[in-house]
Amino acid sequence: MTVTVQSLQFADAREAADLAAFLGRLLHYDRAAAVRLQAGGGALAVFGRPPSFEVLAIRTARLAEPADFDVTVSAGEFLESLDVGTGDAPGPRPAPVTGPPWTGILPPRGGWQERPGLPGPVSLRAALTAAVAEFRSRDHALPADRRTRAERDLIGREIWSRTVGDTELPLRAVHAAQSLGFLRPAPDFPVALLTSGPWLRLRTPFGSIAVRGAGGGLGNLAVTVGAR
């Protein structure tokens, strides 16, 4: 089935510019990245999976007019179609592509509840700084015959799989949030941890990072501006 999104227009130019910045960061980690677009009512949700972090990144944008579609496209082609000056996507629209496996495993539609135990933004950034320093120190300490990609991956997996505060959220989710521009350097920056079934979601005003626990089912995420 052909999906047409020719009339996609954003509420203002800033929405398009913020979305373009997000797509650019995704492409930094994967030049062949695909994104799943879900539009419903007056909002567009864009899902991406930066391979370095093993998480699902979610960015929403307000639309000028209601739209209803669900399509997976090339992130690069979608970025090229955006006009950050006018706040629309005049085309040509990117053609749908066969999505990678993750596009069929999205967070559930509802049931999200806020959970306590997440440190504040200053503590989260401090934990990231300490983790990066530890990785560099342990990498530097490796003997020459063990300084391989596999050995470095083992160190990274151990560090970034650690949980944050009194939660089950892995540190890699916080790392992804900062790298994708979702975690900003302000002491009063609002962050929250939400759960729904086996899913955890780190939410900020600029986007969300979702991770799925073992044994979880499949689902779809409702398209709302509040899901950023």
Residue 31 domain-assigned? no
> What is residue 6's predicted lDDT score, i.e. its pLDDT?
52
Cα–Cα distances in angstroms (integers) from residue 9 to residues 4, 13, 15, 36, in the given order? 13, 9, 10, 17
Q: How many domains does the chain divide into?
A: 1
Are residues 196 and 110 in contact, defined by beta-carbon separation less than 8 angstroms?
A: yes
> What is residue 186's predicted lDDT score, i.e. its pLDDT?
74
Residue 146 domain-assigned? yes
Residue 227 domain-assigned? no
Task: Note down the domain range covering 153.
Answer: 113-193
Residue 221 domain-assigned? no
Residue 59 domain-assigned? no
Residue 152 domain-assigned? yes
Residue 101 domain-assigned? no
Listed in sequence order, the DSSP H helices in 119-163 are 121-141, 149-160
Residue 46 domain-assigned? no
Residue 212 has which token pair? 């799925």
Q: Mean pLDDT in runs of 10 for the chain (228 residues)?
A: 57 90 95 94 94 93 90 94 72 79 88 94 93 94 90 93 94 95 84 95 95 53 44
